[in-house]
Amino acid sequence: MRIIGGTLRGLRLNPPANLPVRPTTDMAKEALFNILQHQVEFETLTVLDLFAGTGNITFEFASRDAVQVTSVDRSIHCVNYIRSTAKQHKLDNIKVFKADVFKYLEAETDRYDLIFADPPYDLNRIPEIPKIVFDKDLLNANGLLIVEHQSMQNLSNQPNFVEQRRYGHSSFSFFKKTIETIDL
């Protein structure tokens, strides 16, 4: 695992082998950030990384100078690894919380420009994530929700779905909160 862009570009992340994770592959992550570089201004983003795991995505956004990256994972080992790596590399724009993601979302009141969720592929609650995010109004205007999931899963019937991009066995489904225009 390596950071592919920003101030930490090329940094190899070496998380402990015993973390309960399936990190986003470098190929899929590179494809994702190639898409995002044409859609967002990284330096103005507030990001919520759900099921953060190794912090692979968290560190990528922090390396690209996102204003704030909030990482949530239920594993204390993952949380400790993200915290120690952030401290080691002086990434003060990262906040880390140990929590069940669904309980965290239900209690969350802050809004974000981008929410990334990489749940375990066998989690049967994956389709609930877009519904909760949009019901709780957790995205700023024109905000993006990106859910990583198995390519055979289809989330196109969820609220505010835009598109699905496939990368081998993994897919990213994109959801967008758009500003509604009011005719006067």
Bridge partners (DSSP) of residue 114 are 47, 144
Hey, where are the domains in the chain? 26-176
Q: Where are the alpha helices (DSSP H) in 89-145?
A: 101-107, 128-135
Placement of tokens 């995002």 in the chain: 36
Contact yes or no for 120/51 (Cβ under 8 A):
yes
**pTM: predicted TM-score of the whole model, two decimal places:** 0.93
Kindly indicate whether the domain formed by 26-176 is annotated with CATH number 3.40.50.2300: no
Per-residue pLDDT of the chain (184 residues; tens, 9 = 90+): 889 999 999 888 887 777 777 777 778 889 999 999 989 999 999 999 999 999 999 999 999 999 999 999 999 999 999 999 999 999 999 999 999 999 999 999 999 999 999 999 999 999 999 999 999 999 999 999 999 999 999 999 998 999 999 988 899 999 998 765 444 4
